[in-house]
Amino acid sequence: MVRLDISDSRCVLAYVDAQSSLLDRIRSHQFENEDLVALRDRVLGGDTGLATLDLDGVLRFGDRLCFSRFGGLIQMILTESRDSKYSIHPGTAKMYRDLRQHYWWSGMKRDIADYVSRCLSCQQVKAEHLSPGGEL
Q: Evaluate whether residue 102 is within a structural domain.
A: yes
Strands 12-16 and 2-6: antiparallel
Q: Evaluate whether residue 6 is within a structural domain.
A: no
- Total domain count, the chain: 1
Residue burial 2-27, b: 16+ Cβ < 10 Å; e: rest = eeeeeeeeeeeeeeeeeeeeeeeebb
CA-CA distance, 98 to 93, in Å (whole number)?
9
What confidence score (pLDDT) does residue 108 get?
Answer: 92
What confidence score (pLDDT) does residue 136 get?
Answer: 53
pLDDT reading at 130 higher than 60: no
Q: Which domain, by its residues, includes 121?
A: 15-128
Instruction: Specify the CATH number for the domain of residue 84.
Output: 1.10.340.70
Q: Evaluate whether residue 89 is within a structural domain.
A: yes
Q: Evaluate whether residue 134 is within a structural domain.
A: no
The tens digit of pLDDT for each residue in 83-129 reads 666 666 667 888 899 899 999 988 999 999 998 888 877 666 555 55
Mention every residue, 6+ apart, whose C-beta is less than 8 A from residue 80: none
What confidence score (pLDDT) does residue 85 get?
Answer: 62
Q: Evaluate whether residue 133 is within a structural domain.
A: no
